[in-house]
Every structure is written in C-alpha cells, then in structure tokens.
Amino acid sequence: EFVDIMLSKTNRKTPTVVHRHYKISRIRQFYMRKVKFTQQNFHDKLSQILTDFPKLEDIHPFYADLMNVLYDRDHYKLALGQLNIAMHLIDNVAKDYTRLMKYGDSLYRCKQLKRAALGRMATIMKRQGQSLQYLEEVRQHLSRLPSIDPHTRTLLITGFPNVGKSSFINKITRADVEVQPYAFTTKSLYVGHTDYKYLRWQVIDTPGILDHPLEDRNTIEMQAIAALAHLRACILYVMDISEQCGHSLEEQAHLFDSIKPLFTNKPLVVVLNKIDVVRLDELSEDNKKIIQQFEKDNIPVIPMSALSEEGVMKVKTEACDMLLAHRVEAKLKSKNFDGILNRVHVAMPKPRDGVRRPPVIPEGALKKKLEKASKLKKRTERDIELELGDDYILDLKKNYDLPEEYKYDVVPEFWLNKNIADYIDPDIMQKLEELEREEELRVNAGVYASESEEEDEEMAEISRLASKIREKKKIMKVEAIVDKRKGNMMPRASRKRERSVSRLREEMENLGVDMSNTGSANFTKTDRSKSRSARPLKKARADSEGRVRSASRSVPRSEMGVKDKANHHKNSKGHQTGFPLNK
C-alpha cells in the first residue's frame, strides 16, 4: 500500500502526456520530473517516520526502559536503521537514473529509464515490509500507553498479584481499573489522578510481581520493575494479611526484601490490606513478628480494607505527606537552593521593651469600614424572585425612563407609514352587535321578501330571440364539422384483437410450459409504452443567393466560363439590347 500510494501520487501530480515529436530535451525533462518527484515523496515520508518515532537516547529513562521491555530496544533501533538505509538508497537510485536520463536519445529509452528507476525504488520499499509492519504496531501501542509524567508527585502501588492494588486505586481516584479474583488481572500500567492539599497527584497501578530472579520475570512484571526503578514516587507496598492471594505473609515479606534496592531514597509505606477478613490481633505469632520487623526498620505500617474503605484515606494522607516532605528536603539539598535562599529574608520582630503596642486602625479607615458594613444592599430582581417564590412575575417595563402613565402603553404598529391603531374603532364589537340586531329585525319584518314580477312582452321577445341565436350557433358548428370531412376517406374496417394474455397462457400450457407463477411477468402488463416519434425531416439548405438547394448541383451554362459576375451582367445586357454577335 505504501508503494501504491507513492506511485499514484506521482501519477496524479505530474504531467501524464508526452509525444515523440517533442524536443528530446523536453522529453528528458518530462521523465526526470517523474523520477525526482517520486524520490522526493519517498524521502519526505521516510524522514517523517524517522523523526516522529522517539529516540531512546533523548527521552526519559523510564520511557526508554519501558520501550525496551515492551518492544525490544535492538529490534526497534534495527527497524529504524533499515528505513534510514532505504531512504538513502532511494536517493542514490534517483541520482543515478537522473544522470543516465541525460543521455537518453529517444522517448522510448527515457521511458524505460524512468520505469527502471521507479521499479528499483518500489523494490527497495517492498523489502522494508516487515520493518514498516513492526513500526506500525509499535506506533499503535505507543498511542494507547497512559500519559505518565515522571517529574510530578506520584504514588506507586506495588506488591504480589491479587492483593488489592487495583481496588485501592479505584477508591482514591477516578480510574476504573478492572478487578477480578484471579492473578494478573492488571497486565500494564494504569494511571489515576487525585487531589490533596489543592495539588494534583498521580497514582500508578502496576502489575503484580512474583518472587523470582530478574532474568526470569516476564514482560508484565518488568513494566512494574521499570516504574519502580525510574520514577521518583512514594512506594505503597500492598500486602494481603488474609493470604487469599495465594501467597503467605512470609513470601510477601521475602519479595519486599528482594526488590528493596529499588526503594532507595524514596518514601515507603507498607499497606496491610483485607483487615475486614483477618484483624491484626488475629494473626499468628510468626506473622506478627514479620510486621514488627517492618516497624523496627522505621517503615510505616498502615492497616486498610479496600472493600469497607477502612483506613483508605489514612493511607493516602500519610503517603502524600511523606512525599511532600521528601520533595522539600530534596530541594533544600540541591545546589540551586543556596542561591535562592540568600535572596529570601523573613523578618521576625522581637520585643524591645515592656510597652504594649496593640494594632491601631486609623479612625477614617474604621469609619469607612463601618459605613460599608451598614450600607444597604441594592434589592435586585433575584432577591424579589426569592422573596415572592411562585408568585413572582418578571416586569421589564417598571424601570423604563418614562412617566408612569406612559410606561405600560402598547407599542404602536405601523404599516405603510400609518398607525394601525388610528384605523381601529375601540367600540367595533358593540357596533357589530347593534348592526346584527338591526339586520335581524329587517329580515323578520320582510323587507327583503319581494314577489317575482311578471315579465313584460319586451323581455319575452328578447328571450325568444336569444334562444334562436343559440340554436343557430349549434347548427353552424355541426355544418362546419361536416364540411371538413367532405373529402375522400378510405373505409377503415376494425379488426378484432387476436393477441391476448389468456390466449398466450393457453398456448404455452398446451406446449407443456408451467405458467402458474407468471402473475407479475412482463407480458401481463397491458400499459402501453411511450411511442417513438418519427425522425424529423431533413430541411433543404439555402445557398448564398437565397435559393433552396437540396443537393450539390452544377453551375448553369449561362454562368459557366465567366470569372466575375460583373462581366456576366454586361454580356447579358448586351444580348438584350440587340448588339451583333460574332459569327
């Protein structure tokens, strides 16, 4: 796909037509452009890949170690190195074939050189298929990794699998880590965030670690080891005192001793989880001695239950306070702190005698403060709304800068520069009712009941004349239709329709064809399709003199042999006047 995209881009963005009758310099330039354009596309794409992938030497050691664990440092660098070599090889191919193109003496040879150049570039890229596929998988996995800031305040949770690490991070952060009653539910690093003392804290849940040598640990465990080794965080070592995780308290203590070098110069808290199952006073003597050993080493031991949330906030508070104190102490020991401390001066007043000097507020300032406190607050619409509750109605007109009698007037409506209110009678409904009553009285009195008057003789005569005129018009109409048909007309004998659907079905069934499922067949449709109109007749063309000519014809004999029409006109004129002709 990579090669197809590059070649199609070349085809789309460069000229595609060249002819052999062009100058040879133009033909060479045409094919050189295609080779150089393809080489530049490959170069830009490969250089972008090499630039976008992080260099292990330039990133934080935590991310470098994590990428080594997940993707294998050697394999990663080898894949990028092969792409770098491929980029330089493609550049050299383009350079060589561009030089050869200058000696191409025909379109065919230039085209073959271009074809060979693009073919070698495509072959080089096809050999990098495995490297590109590996880097694509690395890119997709890197995009799914959590965003971990190695320099911020961090709480790191570690311990055996299935001791309650994920349950604890779900309680103190908004993370939603999967919790299941079997080991290695968490297979990668998960990050949650919480707030403490108005500061943002990063909480990291690591996969469980088993107690065996470093070289025997798998990829899942090595992610936790990388986080413990490189992150400056407060370590929360979680232990399951109920031993429901499948490992005894002694094994958990042994794992603590084996990874203890990773806790150097970091705040450390031992968390005893699942006290809702087994209380501390219910432990055996051997297990109590193990816990007492932690206390002898000045390691804080805090009991907790992630299920009942007993002691959860205490663990969070203790760990955050320890990390804050550790970070402040580290800053005090840094080299830059001395230069900053010399510029900071904290003045501590000391008593010089036995005179008591209470704080004094100036009288003007005190008076202004009292006036401000006693000043009545302006009553807002919100205050009125809260006071009236559901009875409140928003009145926007009460604050208008108008006299009181004009505030609630209706806004006039204008149409064609005229006020509509001027043409509306306020008593129109009352007048309408009076008019309706008057009309009803007129109807009841019989004002509108008039007897039909007898037609006089003149009106009867007019009516008879109109009837005669209408009859005459009908007769004239029929005669006109008859006159149109007076010509010879061929008799048209109607023929009975012979073809029908039923006849077709009967004939086909007699021949043995099954016609049972032909209800929606095309031959059952009786609608007539659109008739094809006749082709238009070819119109005769007119020549320059305006005469209609249907086909090419010869020049008349009277016009043959005469070059210009002026001479022809003279000859014809002389012939008419009776001049003697040469014999």
Measured CA to CA, the distance from residue 12 to residue 41 in angstroms comes to 13
The residue ranking higher by pLDDT, 413 or 455, is 413
On whether the CB atoms of residues 204 and 231 are closer than 8 A, the answer is: yes
Does some domain include residue 510?
no
Q: Do the domain assignments include residue 533?
A: no
> Has residue 63 been placed in a domain?
yes
CA distance 163 to 211: 14
CATH number of the domain to which 77 belongs: 1.20.120.1190
Question: Helix or strand or coil: residue 168?
Answer: helix
Average pLDDT over residues 65-74: 88
Q: What confidence score (pLDDT) does residue 117 get?
A: 94
Same domain, 129 and 260: no
Q: What letter represents residue 323's amino acid?
A: L
Task: Verify that 202 and 329 share a domain, yes or no.
Answer: yes
Q: Which residue from 504, 498, 495, 496 is spatially nearest to 525, judged by alpha carbons?
A: 504
For 101-160, the pLDDT digits (tens) are 988 889 999 999 999 999 999 999 999 999 999 999 999 988 888 888 888 899 999 988
Please report whether residue 455 resides in a domain: no
What average pLDDT does range 435-457 have in this prediction?
Answer: 77
- Measured in degrees and rounded to the nearest 5, phi and psi for residue 567 equal -65, -40
Q: Is residue 340 part of a domain?
A: no
Q: Do 236 and 224 touch, CB atoms closer than 8 A? A: no
Single-letter amino acid, residue 6: M
- Encode 525-545 in three state secondary structure: CCCCCCCCCCCCCCCCEECCC
Confidence tier at 475 by pLDDT (50, 70, 90): very high
At a CB cut-off of 8 Å and minimum separation 6, what does 572 contact?
558
| Range in 259-263, 350-354, 356-360, 576-580 the model is least confident about | 576-580
- pLDDT of residue 583 exceeding 80: no
Nearest residue to 154 via CA among 234, 250, 92, 97: 234
Residues 181 and 57 in one domain: no
Radius of gyration in angstroms for the set of CA atoms belonging to the chain, rounded to a whole number: 54
Q: pLDDT per residue over 348-400, tens digit each?
A: 888 888 888 888 889 899 888 888 887 777 888 888 998 888 889 888 888 88
- Cα 122 to chain centroid distance, Å, stands at 34
Q: Tell me the three state secondary structure of residue 181.
A: coil
Specify the 3-state DSSP secondary structure of 438.
helix
Q: Is residue 470's pLDDT more than 90? A: yes
Same domain, 85 and 118: yes
Mean pLDDT, the chain, as a whole number? 83
- Structural domain of residue 225, as residue ranges? 147-334
Residue listed under structure tokens 């804050």:
324
Cα→Cα distances 35→90, 125, 406, Å: 10, 15, 85
Query: Are 154 and 123 in the same domain?
Result: no
Say if 553 falls within a structural domain: no
If one compares 578 and 500, the residue with the highest pLDDT of the two is: 500
Instruction: Report if residue 465 sits inside a domain.
Output: no
Return the higher-pLDDT residue of 454 and 238.
238
Calpha distance 522→275 (Å, rounded): 84
- Do 211 and 242 share a structural domain? yes
Amino acid letter, residue 458: E
Residues 59, 7 share a domain? yes
Chain centroid to Cα 384, Å, comes to 46
Q: Does 196 lie in the same domain as 257?
A: yes
Amino acid at 230: H
What pLDDT score was predicted for residue 295? 84
Instruction: Give the pLDDT confidence of 334-345 residue by residue, as tens digits.
Output: 777 666 767 777
Measured distance CA(245)–CA(274) in Å, rounded: 10
129 and 187 fall within a common domain:
no
Contact partners, residue 243, CB within 8 Å, separation at least 6: 249
Q: Is 21 found in the same domain as 42? A: yes
pTM: 0.54
Q: How many CB atoms lie within 10 A of CB 240?
A: 24
Residue 465: per-residue pLDDT? 93
Tell me whether strands 268-273 and 301-303 are parallel, antiparallel or unpaired. parallel
DSSP assignment of 269-324: EEEEE-TTTS-GGGS-HHHHHHHHHHHHTT--EEE-BTTTTBTHHHHHHHHHHHHH
Domain harbouring 218, CATH code: 3.40.50.300
* 199, 312: one domain: yes
Question: H-helix or E-strand containing 191?
Answer: strand 190-196
Residues in the chain: 583
Alpha-carbon span 236 to 159, nearest angstrom: 8
Instruction: Outline where 102-201 has alpha helix (H).
Output: 107-126, 129-144, 165-172
Domain boundary among 120, 141, 162: 141
Q: Could you say which of 84, 114, 141 is where a domain stops?
A: 141
Q: Is the pLDDT of residue 569 over 70?
A: no
pLDDT reading at 496 higher than 90: no
Taking each helix axis as running N to C, give the angle between helix 24-52 and helix 107-126, from 0 to 180 degrees, rounded to the nearest 10: 10
> Does residue 480 lie within any of the structural domains?
no
Give the burial class of 450: count Cβ atoms within 10 A of its Cβ; 0-12 exposed, 13-18 middle, 19 or more buried: exposed
What is the tally of structural domains in the chain? 2
CA distance linking residue 89 with residue 96, whole number of Å: 11
Upper half-sphere CA count for residue 216 (Cβ side, 13 Å):
5
CB 542 within 8 A of CB 548: yes
Distance CA 128, CA 131 (A): 5
- Tens digit of each residue's pLDDT (9 = 90 or more) over 12-46: 988 888 888 889 999 999 999 999 999 999 999 99
**Calpha distance 534→546 (Å, rounded):** 29
Which H helix or E strand runs over 190?
Answer: strand 190-196
Domain closes at, from 141, 158, 178: 141
**Residue appearing with tokens 């005769």:** 540
Domain co-membership, 196 together with 99: no
Tell me the three state secondary structure of residue 193. strand
Closest CA to 224 of 165, 301, 278: 165
